[in-house]
Structure 1
Amino acid sequence: MERKLIALDLDGTTLNETSRLNPTTIQTMQRLQAAGHIVSIITGRSYQGSQAIYDELKLNSPMINFNGSLGHLPHQDWAAEYQFTLNKAVVLALVNQREQLGINQIIAENKNSNLTAGEDLVAGQFFPEVANSPKLSAKTLTRNPNSLVLIVKPERRTAIIDWIKARFDDLVDIGVWGGPNAILEITSKGVHKARGMAYLAKHFHISRQNIIAFGDEHNDLEMLQYAGLGVAMTNGTAAVKTLADDVTSYDNAHDGVARYLTDYFELAE
């Protein structure tokens, strides 16, 4: 079988319902990597928020963070590392209007650092790396961030999106988290997971039809559509399952990705 690029979303996909890795998933990914396939994490998470998972999987492949904004090789210098960043002016405009707009917290993220303005209990749950982060201000923001996360008041979400689009629509894209938490992810215009995945495929000389991608949410759509085989989780959103080429039989709590790959590669002993 030709070498494949296996692209893994984390939350709701490769990780179980407690945001951890099941042993079966770890073993399956290591078997596929040992067989010569490229197993790569492609996530909206920061590097800080995904490094432990990468290490637990014992991967040696590049990783894509911030929904495609950063591509790098963890723990090593990689000549092919890339990054997309947001204009600081966008960040500072949001910081200045944060309270008036109804934004509880703004998190500006880079590969190895982050800055925050405001606070919200949700941040500690989904972004543990922001605990004790330096304050985000015009003085501390010395470079353009890879990604912005806004934790907003739910009733203000639409108005905030409209405000950003009216001023910066040519500079940024806005991702909206599903579920009960009102979280917006802002990246540089035209940057999404598929950009990072395509970059890796080109780097490793893997054709588009030899990419297998797994995801469950809105920020996985472009990746699943670009891959030769885009697989939605059975616990994924209706939109993702409709557009995917296939759907897993098991959810993320029951090794849905690992079981799918075991069948696909006929790994069962």
Structure 2
Amino acid sequence: MSIKLIATDMDGTFLRDDHQYNHRLFKHLFHQLQKHHIHFVAASGSSFPRLAREFQPYIDQMDFISQNGSVIHHGQQFLTAYPIEVTALERVMHILDRFYGPQDINQLVVSGPTTSYVDQTMNDQNFAVIKLFYEDVVRVPDIRQVFSQYPDEQFTKISVNFAPHINLNKVAAVMDGYLPPSLIIENSGFNTDLIGNAKGTKRNALAVLQQRLHLADDEIVTFGDNENDLGMLAMTARSYAMQNANPVIKLQAAHTTAIDNNHDGVLKTIEQLLKNDA
């Protein structure tokens, strides 16, 4: 078996639009992956607790790349994180306050490796959405003071969900001009930008796992649908953009899945790969 690792993005890729997946088919395929000693990696912009919930029965047999690569786990074992300096965090908040008002931002989340923080003024509807993607969420009196309130926390990512009238291409242009060079901003879909350590990308995180497992590039299969997956997709000739992905993403990947995320596109592709690679 020439495939040794399969890494997949979650929302818009592995998961359906209702944030569910085919548990019966996954259970069958996961057993096959273990039989052939193929590592399965969930790579997402959301938090580790959310991924641990999604894959609870398999958690100790998987690897997890969360927060777009800022946090890496082997099963439940924390491997590494790429924190953001407090001065850089404060700079991000200053930039957001300068260019965007409350009507422009729906959700602002500041995360550590496992715990995420939101302002106590966030309404219940937005808080429910945040809980879906981050699981372990704490309301704080003032999100802009969270760095001093939790001085021992290693903050790893800022997530900004913008209102529909905000153009993310323009956001990237603005932020790139003001962000410290130590930070990177990536589109994570759903009109959301993730800002974090420039080293905290899915590509770099996957490279950490690749090195640990002593794998060649052509032994890795990757799946993705969005801008934050491009680095990971570029790592290997066995990369797959989803059928439902943006045309730009499809151009960057080596292959495109025959089926979209709402019809088990990742799982059906893995099933075919296992047959072809047997």
Q: Shared fold by TM > 0.5?
A: yes
Identity of aligned residues (%): 21
Contact 1:88 1:144 in 2 (8 A): no
- Aligned counterparts, 1:94-109, within 5 A: 94-95=92-93, 101-102=100-101, 103-109=105-111
Query: TM-score, normalised to structure 1's length?
Result: 0.86
Which residue of structure 2 lines up, in the alignment, with residue 87 of structure 1?
Answer: 85
Give 1:141 deviation, angstroms: 3.5
CA distance in 1, matches of 2:138, 2:130: 15
- Find the residue that maps to 1:40 and give its secondary structure: strand
Relative to structure 1, the CA distance from residue 74 to residue 133 in structure 2 (aligned partners, 3 Å threshold; closer, same or farther) is: farther
CA distance in 2, matches of 1:123, 1:33: 37
Contact 2:117 2:138 in 1 (8 A): no
Which residue of structure 2 lines up, in the alignment, with residue 72 of structure 1?
Answer: 73
Contact 1:25 1:258 in 2 (8 A): yes
How much is the aligned-residue C-alpha RMSD, in angstroms? 2.6
Which residue of structure 2 lines up, in the alignment, with residue 4 of structure 1?
Answer: 4
Which residue of structure 2 lines up, in the alignment, with residue 148 of structure 1?
Answer: 158
CA distance in 2, matches of 1:162, 1:130: 31
CA distance in 2, matches of 1:26, 1:17: 20
- Find the residue that maps to 1:20 and give its secondary structure: coil
- Find the residue that maps to 2:160 and give its secondary structure: strand
- Aligned counterparts, 1:185-224, within 5 A: 185-224=194-233
Which residue of structure 2 lines up, in the alignment, with residue 258 of structure 1?
Answer: 267
Which residue of structure 2 lines up, in the alignment, with residue 174 of structure 1?
Answer: 185
Contact 1:41 1:54 in 2 (8 A): no
Q: 1:125 pairs with 106, 129, 135, which one? A: 129
Contact 2:106 2:126 in 1 (8 A): no
CA distance in 1, matches of 2:10, 2:17: 11
Query: TM-score, normalised to structure 2's length?
Result: 0.84
Contact 1:110 1:147 in 2 (8 A): yes
Unmatched segments (≥5 aa) in structure 1: none
Unmatched segments (≥5 aa) in structure 2: none
CA distance in 2, matches of 1:16, 1:155: 25
Relative to structure 1, the CA distance from residue 152 to residue 73 in structure 2 (aligned partners, 3 Å threshold; closer, same or farther) is: same
Aligned residues between the structures? 264
Give 1:132 deviation, angstroms: 4.7
- Find the residue that maps to 1:50 and give its secondary structure: helix
CA distances 1:3-47 after superposition (whole Å, capped 9, x unpaired): 511111111111122111202133212321232111111111101
Give 1:106 deviation, angstroms: 2.1
Amino acid paired to 1:182: N
Give 1:99 deviation, angstroms: 5.2
Give 1:228 deviation, angstroms: 3.1
Which residue of structure 2 lines up, in the alignment, with residue 184 of structure 1?
Answer: 193
